[in-house]
Structure formats: structure tokens, C-alpha cells
Structure 1
Amino acid sequence: MSVRTGLVSITFRQLGVDEVLGVMRRAELGAVEWGGDVHVPAGDVAAATRTAKASADQGVKVVAYGSYYRAGDHDPGDFDDVLRTAVALGAPRIRVWAGSAGSADATPERRDRVTADLRRISELAARDGVEIAVEHHPGTLTDTLESALGLNAAVDHPGLRPYWQPRLGLGPAEALDEATALLPGLVTVHVFTWTADGARLPLAEGAPLWAPVLGALRERDDAERYALLEFVPDDDPEALVRDAVTLREWLGSG
């Protein structure tokens, strides 16, 4: 198996679906996570169907639907639209968020509510052959490795998958520890380089962090995994083209 390169579509919220696919073609990226806030809104099955066809026509594989469903906080019925849209899009997994409170602030009751909802939506999605992927993000119950691992264990559903991305200021050694600890379930990483205060940099400047992390993913041969570019400097398509070259070099595929 391999690590395939791709894009998180919300990187270019200012562009339409066809324009995003055009930039991906220039950058030679073959996988996409379509976002649910602009490009494929939850409940818009027609847009999802059109986007699925446009992606297929360009030879781009849809690998996720990036929803903004917050487990344990949103109305449970909201997930129905999310799932219908993901199925129409042909997405094999749905990205969700683990609530809206960090692990240090969440009460036991709130953590239980997030856990129960993740188990519920994992079961619902599994009926349609879809996985649930939990965003690794500050301000949620995946804001530390310990909390994320505990959450995954508590949900205890084979259809639940972790995502990973580096938090601001995370060092290379800790990044490698986190990504490695989430294997083998880890299927996707969101790839970008930021400074500790959130300024976006060319991806190449993150080599000390990303080269070991991507190397750990490449060493696994039990599943196909995805490295999806996100948050390029100035939301510039030219920056994506440049960063895609860097990413392929790190993966030994270009």
C-alpha cells in the first residue's frame, strides 16, 4: 500500500468545485476531501452528486467528506443530512469533530455525551459502508494524544478512525510520537507548515516534522493512507503547486 497525495478542499474556499479540481490537476494531486461548508453543503445531495461526477471525470478520488458535525453538541438529526450527502458524494469516510470543548474543560457528562454520539454515528454510517474520522483539533476531545486515545477506546467501534494534524508549536519528536501512537487506525493526515503563532509557511520549512511522520506512515503496508495538503500561504494556488512538489519528494513519489 502507499500514501497518496491530495487536497482538503477548504484550502480554497474562494474557488468553485471545478476551479479546485483545476488547481489539483496542475498540482498533480489525485485525492480530495470535499468540505461541507462551501463546496458540498450538508443536505445538498444534488451538489454532492455533481461534485462526485466532476471528481471522477478528472480522475480524482474522493477520500472523505469534511463535515462540521460536532459529536455530542449538534442536534442528533443533523447527522442524517451529513450521511446522505457523503453517500451521494461517494465518500468512504466522514470527518467530524469531537465536541466543542477541550479535554481539560469537558465535564465527565460532556465527554460521555460525545462518546455516545460518536458510537451512534459510527454505527449509522457503517450501515452505508462509511467510516467516521475524528478531526485531531484543539478545543475538542482530541486536543491531546491521551484524550484522543481514550476517546477512541471508549467509543470502541471499528468504523471510527483518527485523523491527525500538528498543533501549533508541536515539536518533531512529539509529532512523531502522536502519529505513531494513532496507527494502525490513522488513515489521513492534514499536511501544512505553520509557525508557533499560526503564520503559514511553505511546506518545505516543516521538513523536520513532516519527513519522520510521513516516513512512519509509509512504513505501514496494511492500508492505503492519505496526506492531504491544507492551509497554503495566502490561499494561493501557486503555493499549492509548490507544496505538492515538496510533498511528493518527501514521499519518494516525485
Structure 2
Amino acid sequence: MSGFEPALCTVTFRKMPAERILELAVHAGLAAIEWAGDAHVAPGDEPVARNLARLCEKAGLATSYGSYVAPPTDDLPVFRRALDSAIALGASNIRIWPGTRQRDSKDYSEGERRTAAVAIRGMGAEAARHGVTVSLEYHPQSLTDESDSARRLIDAIAHDNVYLYWQPRPGLPLGEALAEVAQIGEHVSHVHVFAWDADRNRFPLRSASDYWRTVLAEMSASRWTGRRFAMLEFVANDDPAAFFEDAATLRHILER
């Protein structure tokens, strides 16, 4: 078994009501939900977060908060609003985006990288005061758009409450994916799971079952000590039927 549990990012169904997403997750046999900060739980909207916390607890689902805070563009006060929502949601983890959105890591100066690392370190320390971990999105056009930059950043942050997510760039060959998780796996908390080609066409997860089974099995041992979630993110045609099929595939991958 991989050690990861199956979960869902609600950005998968951005326009769907939160209560309906929760029903889908329960029926799909998932263990957790990462609630999107730009769709279902807005930063600072604590009443909505508390209501979803109650519903998730009743359903036996753990929670994470997928914020779109992007330090250093966003500062500590902006992060605190998102953190308040994460706390109200009962989330053990908050995701943030490292660096300016839609900017390649290769375009940063060393000074800009240091500024980002300092800002993220401060956010990690603030979240630690409330028992919430911070994880950095791993995504094209960010400071974690490839493993060398991600490793340099996490080393510069040097805070034991800050971790990395991992996901493959669309179309990333298996060999390169394995090289990435070997390099940064010790810092990885959770992963985002999907089946896309290089042109971002979406496919059933079963078409990438061997890919994901191999990657998760080869993931380096991590300093992360909490529950680990493999979070479905996006499905073909945004279709709930496709989601149920992918969720069944994901459970099968994780059980072997």
C-alpha cells in the first residue's frame, strides 16, 4: 500500500454547490476534501467554513484548505485571512502558491527568491501557532514549477512546518516524474492526481493507473508525519460519472 488516502480537490467541480460535492465524496468512498478558496470557502468567510467543518466531521471526512495566497505578492495579513478560514474549516493543512502567479521560476532573481522564502517562512510560523501545516502548490509558472527550483526554495525556507505538494506537469514522462519525486519526496505532504496529456486533454484515470501506482510506490520517505492524501483534481468533462470512475480507480491504486 502507498500510505496515501483518496481525496478530492473541490476545484474539480468549481461551479457545484459545496453540499453536493460533499455528497459525491462520501458516495465515492473518499477520506478527505480540499476545499477551494476561490470557489467554496472564501478567505475570511468563517461561517461557511464552520458549516462545512460540521458537515465534513459528520460525514467522517478530513479537510484541507486550498488557498490561492501567493507570497510574496500576498503578505502575512492576506495569509491570516485564509488561515482563519482553514482553522474554521477544521483543516489540518493550508495550501499556498509560491511566488507570483503565472510567472516561471527561471525569471526570478536570487533576491526575489530570498524575499519569497522569507515571506513563506513567516506564514509557516504563523500557521504553526494554530496547529496548521503549510504546503506549497507544485505547479507550472510558480517557484515550484520544476524540482530543482522547488528544492532550492524549500531549503531556503528552512521551516519544519512548510512542505511541498507534488503533481506531474501535463504529459510528464514517467522517468522524469520518478526523478522529481526522488529529489523532493522527503518534503512532500500530499499529491494532486489527474490524467492529462501535454495538451491538457483529460482522460480517465485508469489510463494512467500504472503511472500513478509506480510514482506513489517510488515516492521517497517524507518528513511529513500526518495523514497523506492523494487528491483527485479535475475529471473528464467535469462529469460526476467520470469522477466516480476515477475515484474507484484511485482507491484501487492506493490499496495495492
TM-score clears 0.5: yes
Q: Compare 208-217 and 99-108 and name the one that shifted more.
A: 208-217
Q: Contact (CA 8 Å) 2:124, 2:133: kept in 1 or not?
A: yes
**Alignment partner of 1:58 is 2:39:** no
Q: 1:236 aligns with which of 212, 236, 239?
A: 239
Measured after TM superposition, the shift of residue 2 of structure 1 is 2.6
CA gap of 1:123–1:163, structure 2 versus 1, over 3 A, is same
**Alignment partner of 1:71 is 2:78:** no
Aligned-partner residue type, residue 250 of structure 2: L
Structure 2 equivalent of residue 9 of structure 1: 10
Q: 2:115 aligns with which of 113, 116, 119?
A: 113
Give the aligned CA root-mean-square deviation in angstroms: 1.8
Q: Contact (CA 8 Å) 2:235, 2:243: kept in 1 or not?
A: yes
Measured after TM superposition, the shift of residue 75 of structure 1 is 3.7
Measured after TM superposition, the shift of residue 217 of structure 1 is 4.4
Query: Aligned residues, how many?
Result: 252
Measured after TM superposition, the shift of residue 180 of structure 1 is 2.8
CA gap of 1:248–1:219, structure 2 versus 1, over 3 A, is farther
What CA distance in whole angstroms lies between the structure 1 residues aligned with 2:214 and 2:116? Answer: 32
- % same residue: 38
Q: Compare 27-36 and 211-220 and name the one that shifted more.
A: 211-220
**Alignment partner of 1:28 is 2:33:** no
Unaligned runs of 5+ in 1: none
What CA distance in whole angstroms lies between the structure 2 residues aligned with 1:124 and 1:97? Answer: 16
Per-residue CA deviations over 1:26-58 (Å, capped at 9, x if unaligned) read: 211121111101110000011110010011111
CA gap of 1:95–1:219, structure 2 versus 1, over 3 A, is closer
Q: Compare 167-176 and 44-53 and name the one that shifted more.
A: 167-176
Structure 2 equivalent of residue 137 of structure 1: 139
Q: Contact (CA 8 Å) 2:185, 2:221: kept in 1 or not?
A: no
Compute the TM-score of the two structures, normalised by the length of structure 2.
0.93
Aligned-partner residue type, residue 230 of structure 1: E
**Aligned positions of 1:140-159 closer than 5 A:** 140-159=142-161
Q: Contact (CA 8 Å) 2:124, 2:162: kept in 1 or not?
A: yes
Measured after TM superposition, the shift of residue 187 of structure 1 is 1.5
Per-residue CA deviations over 1:204-235 (Å, capped at 9, x if unaligned) read: 11134212112234987965311110110111
Structure 2 equivalent of residue 200 of structure 1: 202
What CA distance in whole angstroms lies between the structure 2 residues aligned with 1:246 and 1:71? Answer: 35
Aligned-partner residue type, residue 71 of structure 2: A
Compute the TM-score of the two structures, normalised by the length of structure 1.
0.94
